[in-house]
Amino acid sequence: MTLPLLLLLQISGEQLYQAGRFAEARDALLRDVRSANAKPETHFWLGYAELALGNKPGAIQPFETYLKASPKDEDVLYALARTYAQLAEMSLERIFALDPKSARAYQMRGIRFELEKEWSKAIESYETALKLTPSMRGVWSSIARIYARELNDASRGRAAAAREPLEPSPSLGIALVEKKQPRNALPHLLEWRSAQPRNPDAYYYLGEAYTDLKVGAIQRLRAVNDSSYRLHQVLAESYASTHRREEAVEEYRQVLKLRPGLPGVQFELARLLTDSAPGEARALLERELRIDPDHFAAKSLLGQLLVALHESETAVPLLESALAARDSLAGARKALGKALVETGKPREALDHLLRVAREDPGDEQIHFVLAQAYRALGLSSEAAREMAIHREVTRKLDAGNSPPR
């Protein structure tokens, strides 16, 4: 029920935020800003209200305004860096959604291969981007960097660098990004995106600007306290997003040394250790659930890990609870189907397995587990059909992973 307006006006934005009434909190805080009654704390709570409502761009200005008065607030610097990082990722991922075969998409693949130290694949992706758009800026420089720094081929590096376009940037927004002035570039880039919402170039340069702003926020946090647990946390997140697993693991360990009970960190570290250290990952997830019993993602991951460890009886209630909280967890649903088959409940498993198979028919494992379920129910023809699908999907996957001749 909505509170009467008069009563609502008597409740502060902070109180509304603390009560979980985020939209009303934002409205109250914005009223204070418009009426010139805003204090630094007004912008603090407004930034967090915008984040709670999923409006990441809307959180930037309140946080930056608050930091003018409190430049050493480590929590807000962390929140700001994280927001910039998420906006960068969202912008760059949009490139693939618009056109996965565009020059920008191939450039992004090249960047990812560089992060994974797959140098030949990176060069191949960059060269594909240049075939599609020969005048693309920065790509020849990326190829030159790989040859010179990673492959120790100075001559090819110089040859690639010489092919980098030298003409001025085609727009003010791009020029400001290239001059490392992301804050000044942002209004121009956002206007470009609004005018051309399907242009991958706009999202690429937005991603570049947000990435530079993220780096700047991290540097500000480091300058305030270079041993801050928030600094280790944002560095861990940054390393994880760029496939630098070992560095991310070490940074998360530093966070836990400083703040062992910090919600969410045990889960993030466990995600990185599930394959290489399942025992430690299990202990981390169990601790996470003691800190936050409602962490559905931790329940999902722990349940999947237990199924892999053949502890399906223990896994079933965790996976069911995770799916009750978030119905779209395909990994949890697949693991639950397998666990139900292994615990002698194939009929209950079928609904889960068939849904996963409909949503992802190219998953070879799901057809294998479906065959097991049908076999346990005495449905031999259905089991044979699923095994045939499993073999065919596996054959196609193997063919796709074979090196070209």
- DSSP symbol at 145: H
Side-chain-side CA neighbours of residue 105 (13 Å): 11
pLDDT tens by residue, 274-299? 999 999 999 999 999 999 999 999 99
pTM of the model: 0.88
pLDDT tens by residue, 103-131? 999 999 999 999 889 999 999 999 999 99
Give the integer Cα–Cα distance in Å for 121 and 112.
Answer: 10
Average pLDDT value for residue range 53-76: 97
The separation between the first and the last C-alpha atoms of the chain, rounded to the nearest angstrom, is: 67
Decide if 357 is inside a domain.
no
User: Which H/E stretch holds residue 173?
Assistant: helix 172-178
| Per-residue model confidence (pLDDT) at position 134 | 94
Please check whether residues 9 and 63 belong to one and the same domain: yes
CA distances from residue 159 to 145, 164, 182 in whole angstroms, order as listed: 11, 9, 30
3-state SS assignment for residue 294? coil
Please check whether residues 203 and 88 belong to one and the same domain: yes
More confident residue, 170 or 238: 238
| Per-residue model confidence (pLDDT) at position 317 | 98
**Is 7's pLDDT higher than 80?**
no
Give the integer Cα–Cα distance in Å for 281 and 295.
Answer: 15
State how many domains the chain has.
2
* Closest of 219, 222, 193 to residue 90, by C-alpha: 193
The count of other CB atoms within 10 Å of the CB of residue 289 is 17
Band of pLDDT at residue 230, cut at 50, 70 and 90: very high
User: What's the gap between Cα 300 and its chain centre?
Assistant: 17
* Closest of 276, 273, 275, 319 to residue 296, by C-alpha: 319
Q: What is the CATH number of the domain that holds 83?
A: 1.25.40.10
Please check whether residues 155 and 28 belong to one and the same domain: no
pLDDT tens by residue, 190-202? 999 999 999 999 9
Q: What is the CATH number of the domain that holds 26?
A: 1.25.40
- DSSP symbol at 150: I
| Per-residue model confidence (pLDDT) at position 405 | 37
| Per-residue model confidence (pLDDT) at position 95 | 97
Decide if 237 is inside a domain.
no
User: What's the gap between Cα 233 and its chain centre?
Assistant: 15
10 Å CB burial of residue 220 (0-12, 13-18, 19+) is middle
| Per-residue model confidence (pLDDT) at position 403 | 42
Reported for 264-273, long-range contacts at CB under 8 A and 24+ positions apart, including other chains, are 264/288, 264/292, 264/295, 265/233, 266/291, 266/298, 267/295, 267/297, 267/298, 267/301, 268/236, 268/237, 268/240, 270/298, 270/301, 271/301, 272/240, 272/245, 272/248, 273/249
Please check whether residues 202 and 115 belong to one and the same domain: yes
Band of pLDDT at residue 4, cut at 50, 70 and 90: low
Give the integer Cα–Cα distance in Å for 83 and 51.
Answer: 8
Last residue of a domain, one of 17, 48, 70: 70
Please check whether residues 13 and 108 belong to one and the same domain: no
Decide if 91 is inside a domain.
yes
Please check whether residues 61 and 81 belong to one and the same domain: no
Please check whether residues 133 and 40 belong to one and the same domain: no
Please check whether residues 177 and 90 belong to one and the same domain: yes
Decide if 175 is inside a domain.
yes
Judge contact between 316 and 306, C-beta under 8 A: no
pLDDT tens by residue, 8-34? 456 889 999 999 999 999 999 999 999
Please check whether residues 110 and 199 belong to one and the same domain: yes
Residue whose tokens read 């003010």:
172
User: What's the gap between Cα 341 and its chain centre?
Assistant: 32
Decide if 45 is inside a domain.
yes
Decide if 333 is inside a domain.
no
Average pLDDT value for residue range 237-262: 95
Last residue of a domain, one of 70, 104, 128: 70
Q: Which amino acid is at 134?
A: P
Give the integer Cα–Cα distance in Å for 405 and 402.
Answer: 9
Domain housing 87: 74-209
Report the C-alpha dihedral over residues 9, 11, 15, 17, rounded to 10 degrees: -20
Average pLDDT value for residue range 343-368: 94
- DSSP symbol at 168: P
Phi-psi region of 350 (alpha: psi -120 to 50; beta: other; left: phi over 0): alpha
Average pLDDT value for residue range 306-333: 97
| Per-residue model confidence (pLDDT) at position 401 | 53
User: Would you state the structure tokens that stand for residue 317, as one six-digit string?
Assistant: 């209630």
Decide if 378 is inside a domain.
no
Please check whether residues 79 and 200 belong to one and the same domain: yes
Q: What is the b/e burial string over 49-63, where b = at least 16 CB atoms within 10 angstroms of the residue's CB?
A: bbbbeeebebbbebb
- DSSP symbol at 149: I
Please check whether residues 201 and 81 belong to one and the same domain: yes
Please check whether residues 42 and 119 belong to one and the same domain: no
Judge contact between 165 and 185, C-beta under 8 A: no
Last residue of a domain, one of 146, 176, 209: 209
Decide if 323 is inside a domain.
no
Report the C-alpha dihedral over residues 73, 79, 82, 86, rounded to 10 degrees: -150
